[in-house]
Structure 1
Amino acid sequence: MKEKVPVDFIPETYHFVAAGDSLTQGVGDSLNKGGYLHYLEQLLGEERGIKSTEIQNFGIRGNRSSQLLTRLKTTEVKEAVQKADVVMLTIGGNDLMKVVRENFSNLEMRHFEKEKLHFEKNLRSIVEVIRQENKESIIILIGLYNPFMKWFSNVEELNLVMEDWNQTSQSVLAEHPHTYFVDIADIFKGSEENLLYTDYFHPNDRGYELMAGEVYSIIKSKVMSTLSERKYAAQKVGN
């Protein structure tokens, strides 16, 4: 039996691509350094198996799943994805906000259910488009949290909506290998610490720091071994 290659056997440079909405752009980040990506880069810098990380940020505030799908088909993003070891996504929050805005005076569960069907279809296409450009990249999707807690703290149905949409996202990811879901809902739910920006919608610095910790945990426990083995195999072939 051959032993697995240690993840820190040969420190390597890894290329990360981040795409999606305002959580990737980093709205609410007082440092204006890309929200959770700033903290994630610091954490990855402590990994002995990582010499350096290159992170390209394609987050755009307000993007819904349909708009991310279109953006992934642009030359700039396609070329970045082709070189990516890891593609990280935040998407869905604006799809939910669209439902709230369009049905604010008469908001019902059926409205979210209808929109979820569009989100599911778009998310499936998003993963497929990434796979068309890069069959080997690791795909990490950061889940949704309830951003309406300050406004509708007594509406438990909204937490159920978030759980339902997150379960749908996990079902879509399960259709493809090397995909991982990062659950961040519990970070924000019922936290005694203020984790939201002054708009009560986006994370603040501390919120982004905790998000990064959850993403890093997945990368460290489930992704690094795969990346290291691939780099090691590629070097053996090259030699």
Structure 2
Amino acid sequence: MIKKIIWYSVVTISVLGIIAFSTGFYKAIRLTTGTTNGAISSEQNTQSPNDNPIEKPANSLSLITLGDSVAKGTGDETNRGFAGNLKDLMNSKTSKDVMVENLGIDGLRSGNLLEEVQTGKLDAVIKTSDFILLSIGGNDLRTLQNQDEPSKVKDVIEIQNQTISDLKEIISHIREINKNATIIFVGLYNPNVKTGSYVDGELVRSWNF
């Protein structure tokens, strides 16, 4: 199931990448715990969904984003982020009203998201979602940003294995609540590709492939 989701994600994100580059999205995002540099519209900045059952309007599609600053859209100078760009893409393909609920949180790690999901407070919004955009793992990897030597590979493997374990549990919980939603998993984004850092280079590539 994980492989199927990730394979679908590669195709989907490739399309999104074209849109994102045209709006300058990639230029602005950083996978850090920093503060938001660009304001996100109220439609895309909800972080505390109502625990009560959510009634979805007829003739509509629901898109939620879960995860870190990439999911949230932090630093995007266009105020669109992945959620906004995906909404635009969906609007061009359907006559249905696309509703976005952005639950991304700056600095979130996979363990944090797993805890959020396991509390059940996201169950209501997950249950009624048609599309779930998931971005997580970047901040897990950033814990090694000061460890530039390949000899640190043991630490990398431990963190990677834990992140993958968390991700499997997150997706498993989502599937228990909603068996039909399309899950779009965003691969790790590298905003520092020219720095030559081991973490910013080889590790990001190894995690994505």
Q: TM-score, normalised by structure 1?
A: 0.57
Offset at residue 70 of structure 1 (A): 1.2
For the residue of structure 2 that corresponds to 1:123, the secondary structure is: helix
Gaps spanning 5+ residues in structure 2: where? 1-57
Offset at residue 139 of structure 1 (A): 1.1
Offset at residue 65 of structure 1 (A): 0.5
Per-residue CA distance 1:199-231 (angstroms, 9 max, x = gap): xxxxxxxxxxxxxxxxxxxxxxxxxxxxxxxxx
Task: Report what 1:39 is aligned to.
Answer: 85
Per-residue CA distance 1:55-91 (angstroms, 9 max, x = gap): 1111000000001111123444211001011111011
Per-residue CA distance 1:167-213 (angstroms, 9 max, x = gap): 3xxxxxxxxxxxxxxxxxxxxxxxxxxxxxxxxxxxxxxxxxxxxxx
- Is 1:54 matched with 2:99? yes
For the residue of structure 2 that corresponds to 1:54, the secondary structure is: strand
Percent of aligned pairs sharing the same letter: 30
Gaps spanning 5+ residues in structure 1: where? 1-10, 168-239
Task: Report what 2:133 is aligned to.
Answer: 88
Aligned length: 152
**Whole-Å separation in 2 of the counterparts to 1:88 and 1:25:** 10
Structure 1 residues 158 and 150 mapped into 2: Cα distance closer, same or farther (>3 Å)?
closer
Structure 1 residues 164 and 105 mapped into 2: Cα distance closer, same or farther (>3 Å)?
closer
**Whole-Å separation in 2 of the counterparts to 1:147 and 1:29:** 12
Letter in 1 for 2:145: V
**Whole-Å separation in 2 of the counterparts to 1:98 and 1:59:** 19
Offset at residue 16 of structure 1 (A): 1.1
Is contact 1:14-1:50 (8 Å) kept? no
**Whole-Å separation in 2 of the counterparts to 1:119 and 1:55:** 26
Is contact 1:89-1:141 (8 Å) kept? yes
Letter in 2 for 1:71: E
